[in-house]
Amino acid sequence: MTAHLTETHREVQALARDFARTRVAPHADQWNNDHAIPREVLREMAELGFLAVAVPEEYGGAGLDATSLALIVEEVARADAGASVTIAAQNGLVCSPILRAGSDAQKEAWLPPLAGGEAFGAYALTEPDVGSDTANLRTAATADGDGWRLSGSKMWITNGGFADVFVVFARTGGPGARGVSAFLTRRGEGFTVGREIPKMGLHSSSTVELTFDGLAVPADGLLGAEGEGLRLALATLDGGRITVAAQACGIAGHALDVAVQYARERTAFGGPIARFQGVQFPIADLAAKLDAARLLTLHAAALRDAGEPHGAAGAKAKLFASAVAVEAADVAVQTLGGYGYSAEFPAERLYRDAKITELYEGTSQIQRLVIARDLWGADAR
């Protein structure tokens, strides 16, 4: 469904599709089996502008928009969801807050290496005991001369195992949202990267725990105003949910392809199983839902590009698209029968990868809260 896309968007989509087909898909199974991060291919993506899609050209980015990012993430996710996670995090969770809240000096210092693939970034908000309740995070930033010292721990940090740049949210004041600030930092003394956390899916993506024990952050590491960190974190997630929705569409699109192809080629009772309505109807329903998910995702991206409020639209896109991804993976496994349950066929990997889209960057329950608050305002709190 591309009738409403601009010529530039179509070109971006075609470029991403070709790259995913030739450089990602052929290696996806091996990366997942080996739990390998495809850094070489990620750097190739940087050469195409995929790691800094909406970053202005003056900082080394592609100078495109949120719609372009959604199209790129979907195409890469269709080939390998794990690889698409790195793109989504680099763009939406690291470059985006720097663009939004960074000073000119911070943008000039931090964005070009991220755009060029010389550095990878991670977004450190979630903690072992603090997930959706972000206002109560415990990691602390204590004033130390002209700078700060970070102490605490973070959990489920995407890209954390190989990242060079970290956007860290820590408490600089009293309890509640107004006590949280954002910081830009690199690895250093007092910063420990934990082991890779074993996951159900996304085996080609890094997920770790981080520990801070007095990590020194200079004064110019404060990102945005002191006490405005949580506002920045939530604004960042508003955009990040659009890329997760795009990722979900990519997973669902691959699952649909797998189911259609298998039903066409698999013969039983004298012909292909695609002639049976019991096989046709779940796949047909899925095709309709996938189109709807894509339209919701592109609508949210278009609102963001227009500078209009897009929090609720992104929540709707993520809520719906993630459910479609899970359903699509289930339909693919069911269509393939025993082969769908085998790790030798792609349906099994899609089944494991799909579930996370209902969990990270806000669970489906959190998306419903965002939508409800948009409908009822303070009455929904």
Strands, E assignment, the chain: 121-124, 140-144, 147-158, 165-171, 180-186, 191-196, 207-217, 222-223, 267-268, 271-272
Hunting for tokens 């939406």 — which residue is that?
92
Strand partners, 182: 169, 223
DSSP character string of 216-271: EE-GGGEESSTT-HHHHHHHHHHHHHHHHHHHHHHHHHHHHHHHHHHHHH-EETTE
Tell me how many degrees the CA angle 106-111-117 measures, rounded to the nearest 5.
150
308 vs 306: CA distance, rounded Å: 5
The residues assigned a catalytic role are 361
5 vs 13: CA distance, rounded Å: 10
Hunting for tokens 């190739």 — which residue is that?
44
